[in-house]
Structure 1
Amino acid sequence: MTFRKRVYHTLEFSALGRRGLSLYINVALVSIIFFNSVAIILHTVPEIRNNRLYERVFQDFEIISVGIFTIEYFLRIWSCVENPAIKSGWRGRLSYIFSFWAIIDFLGIFPFYFTLLTSDFGIIRILRVFRLFRLFRATRYAHALKLIRTVILEHKEELLLCFSFIFFTLFISSSVMYYLEHSIQPTKFSSIPATLWWGVITMTTTGYGDMYPMTPVGKFFGGVVLVLGIALFALPTGIIASGFMEQIRRDKGRKYIQCPHCNEWIDLQKVEHVHKPTEKE
């Protein structure tokens, strides 16, 4: 196995890389992401932020973290061509750079380097928000989140149908409520777009109390929408929950074997693996 392929499997935390040095590296990356999230939270506390000692600790930790994330980012770009789904050469690396996870990785380090080029504190404060993208990187290693992503992709047609019906009901109910309440409360139910806020907080059973019907017909209709909202939002929840349990049962019965030629770990439930020697070999 080439060094580049080993780097790819190590960083991607594949079945081949879930042991030894690669396991320690991925645990270290997750730990750094976790401590970054803690640092972002603590940095908003005035007593901590205004302390010079703590501020210096935050700065040093930021520099070390960004340095590690930068090295990881370029190693991923360099080794991404080992992924069978990505073409070799600069075109494959370019497609990876604009992929979802690569953009997340880039946004995690971009604010630090950009703030070195500007002294505008307003821009710096805005860019600090982008540091939160480092937290999204943890989802790369979270098995449960990967399962949910798989479930959503497998049931996307059913979920799309459910949410389309929810949005359709939201627009219809808000439009009807506007005509029922506009003459009584012209400032709150001033337009259909403004009444959409009432529809959202009613169908989700949040009920902030800032907008509510006052006419008898409006109250009756509002009650119908409230009950209907509970039933509608239960549909996608049930689809995701059943798909999640099905995926867990499927993963428990999944077995892997290692290809004796390329050392790839093969999922026996997927298409049969055929080893094809490459020019690198």
Structure 2
Amino acid sequence: MLHLRKLLYRVLETSAGKRRGISLVFNLVLITIITLNAIAIVLHTVPEYNQRYAQLFVDFELFSVLFFSIEYLMRVWVCVENEKYHHPILGRLRYIVSASAIIDFLAIFPFYFSLFATDLGVVRILRLFRIFRLFRISRYSQAFRMIQRVVEEKKEELVLSLSFVVFMLIILSSVMYFVEHPVQPDKFTSIPATMWWGVSAMTTVGYGDILPITPLGKLLGGISAIVGIGLFALPTGILVSGFTEQVRTRKDPSKRMCPHCGREI
């Protein structure tokens, strides 16, 4: 059993062990099934296809759930081969609550829950969770893994920049409320309601459902749009610099960039 568990671990984990050939085939099959699931979810919403191929959609869903369920149980079983989850009980529990395992679980949970649920509204909502199967492809894509590494390395800068956005949203919405509420009490009813205007103004979307009509309000709206462009450019710049560092490190692993000063270390 131990030999079988190690063998399955090498197959399931892309970069583990020497059996990369078998692992590559398995990963290609898995990516194909995930892609077909995405196509099925999209086509299932087309009434013509849903009526004509209803049984095919049902059969493919049953096959997918069975395949993903077996794979999920195997991953829980073999995860102890990883030093991080080496404990037979606590290690598996730690793996189950990991991000990748939660995504795997959400990919199959709606089907089993719908077998016992009687509320059709809840069942329809849970069916949307099948879209989590798309996130599973990130485990096998170098691009997705690079995005994950960039976000992890730049999380402090991203949180800081997003905090600036939230603070400015609260400040601008509060000022706009006190400016426009006296003349438009039905539109700018409260600061939380005015924050909807703040979001559309700072993102320069401008839905037009809530608009300032006073000269001071219009001036504040223009300032909000200009400030929003600058603030939302901050996360973009942070992510671009992170991708640049990752690309340089990938091309030349011996050269690592300092995340603070940007110099080679």
Which position in structure 2 is the counterpart of 1:184? 183
Q: Secondary structure at the match of 2:209?
A: coil
Paired AA for residue 88 in structure 2: G
Structure 1 residues 193-219: Cα deviation after superposition (integer angstroms, max 9, x where no partner): 000001101111111111121111111
Sort the Cα spacing of 1:101 and 1:5 in 2 relative to 1 into closer, same or farther, 3 A: same
* Kept in 2: contact 1:8–1:80 (CA 8 A): yes
Among the aligned pairs, what percent are the same residue?
56
Paired AA for residue 41 in structure 1: V
Q: Secondary structure at the match of 2:159?
A: helix
Which position in structure 1 is the counterpart of 2:150? 151
RMSD (CA atoms): 2.0
Q: Out of 5-14 and 73-82, give the one that drifted further.
A: 5-14
Sort the Cα spacing of 1:115 and 1:249 in 2 relative to 1 into closer, same or farther, 3 A: same
Structure 1 residues 102-133: Cα deviation after superposition (integer angstroms, max 9, x where no partner): 11111111121222234443332222111111
Q: Out of 195-204 and 148-157, give the one that drifted further.
A: 148-157
**Where do residues 88-99 of structure 1 align in structure 2 (5 Å cutoff)?**
88-99=87-98
* Kept in 1: contact 2:79–2:86 (CA 8 A): no
Paired AA for residue 110 in structure 2: P
Sort the Cα spacing of 1:187 and 1:27 in 2 relative to 1 into closer, same or farther, 3 A: same
Moved over 6 A (4+): none
Q: Out of 148-157 and 191-200, give the one that drifted further.
A: 148-157
Paired AA for residue 138 in structure 1: I
Which position in structure 1 is the counterpart of 2:47? 46
Deviation at 1:36, TM superposition (A): 0.4
* Kept in 2: contact 1:10–1:17 (CA 8 A): no
Structure 1 residues 212-266: Cα deviation after superposition (integer angstroms, max 9, x where no partner): 21111111111111101101111111011111111111122238xxxxxxxxxxx
Which position in structure 1 is the counterpart of 2:203? 204
Gaps of 5+ in 1: 256-268, 270-281
Structure 1 residues 86-114: Cα deviation after superposition (integer angstroms, max 9, x where no partner): 23211101111111111111111112122
TM-score normalised to structure 1 length: 0.85
Which position in structure 1 is the counterpart of 2:75? 76
TM-score normalised to structure 2 length: 0.90
Aligned equivalents of 1:12 and 1:78: distance in 2?
13
Aligned equivalents of 1:179 and 1:149: distance in 2?
42
Q: Secondary structure at the match of 2:79?
A: helix
* Kept in 2: contact 1:17–1:23 (CA 8 A): no
Sort the Cα spacing of 1:61 and 1:177 in 2 relative to 1 into closer, same or farther, 3 A: same
Aligned equivalents of 1:9 and 1:206: distance in 2?
49
Which position in structure 2 is the counterpart of 1:272? none
Paired AA for residue 158 in structure 2: L
Gaps of 5+ in 2: 257-265
Structure 1 residues 10-46: Cα deviation after superposition (integer angstroms, max 9, x where no partner): 2221164684121011011011011101101111111
Aligned equivalents of 1:175 and 1:88: distance in 2?
52
Q: Secondary structure at the match of 1:50?
A: helix
